[in-house]
Amino acid sequence: MSRSGREKLNEGPERRCIASGEIGDPALMIRFVVGPEGQAVPDIRGKLPGRGMWVNATKNALETAIKKKAFSRSAKEQVLVPEGLFAQTESLLAQRLVDLISLARKAGQAVTGYEKVKGLLETERARVLIQASDGSERGKSRLRSPPGKDVFIGCLTSQELGLAFGRESVIHGALTAGGLGKQVIAEAKRLRGVRGHGGGKSRPKGKDDV
């Protein structure tokens, strides 16, 4: 458990958010570094060289870090905040999630199509229900998430889901058990936080989505 009482997704050391001062799980945060031109660079995969500056993966924290010069305070030097840094970070998070779902599809751990998804849900082989944020609420409500925690992803658009599944657009998808599921769920949590919505209403009441 993290100091906030939430279950940790990463067993490594916790980090302090430069916007809020809160200490939390780095798996639910976004790492930034100072780029070669002195600018703040989002390090979505956490692999770029340099001292990390961590921001909670929420819309409010990221907006605060950008507006309140938190990067400069953290780095103890002037850090340029590029115009459109919020949108760039959101886009990179979305691309990371799309890429992981695509990998899951290629590994046979993700499917799309209403009937296929329905079949997995009915036979209790679906681990996570995925639905497009801009899909019809009436259509999405016909499928219900499996029981448990972190069982619904609704933060991608139909076009973004389409990229993950090699199609023009996708409304319904599902993850089965497999090694990539944990990574997909973790990335969905970060994107959902930055976008500030769950992207759907078809999850059962009382169940957590990601």
Each residue of 160-206: pLDDT tens digit?
A: 999 999 999 999 999 999 999 999 999 999 999 999 864 444 444 33
Top-level class of domain 15-82: alpha beta
pTM: 0.88
Question: b/e per residue, 128-149, with b = 16+ CB within 10 A?
Answer: bbbbbbebeeeebeebbbbeee
All CATH 3.30.1230.10 domain ranges in the chain, comma separated? 15-82
Residues β-bridged to residue 53:
32
Spatial distance between the Cα atoms of 60 and 67, rounded to a whole number of angstroms: 10
Which of 132, 154, 165 shows the shortest CA–CA distance to 204? 154
Q: Does residue 161 contact residue 113 with C-beta atoms inside 8 Å?
A: no
pLDDT at 2: 47
Residue intervals of the chain classified under CATH 3.30.1330.30 are: 89-195
- pLDDT computed for residue 9 by the predictor: 53
What is the overall mean pLDDT for the chain?
91
Strand duo 15-16 + 152-153: pairing: unpaired
pLDDT of residue 13: 85
Q: What pLDDT score was predicted for residue 202?
A: 43
CA atoms within 13 A on the CB side of 8: 14
Higher pLDDT, 72 or 5: 72
- Residue range 89-195 forms a domain whose CATH class is alpha beta
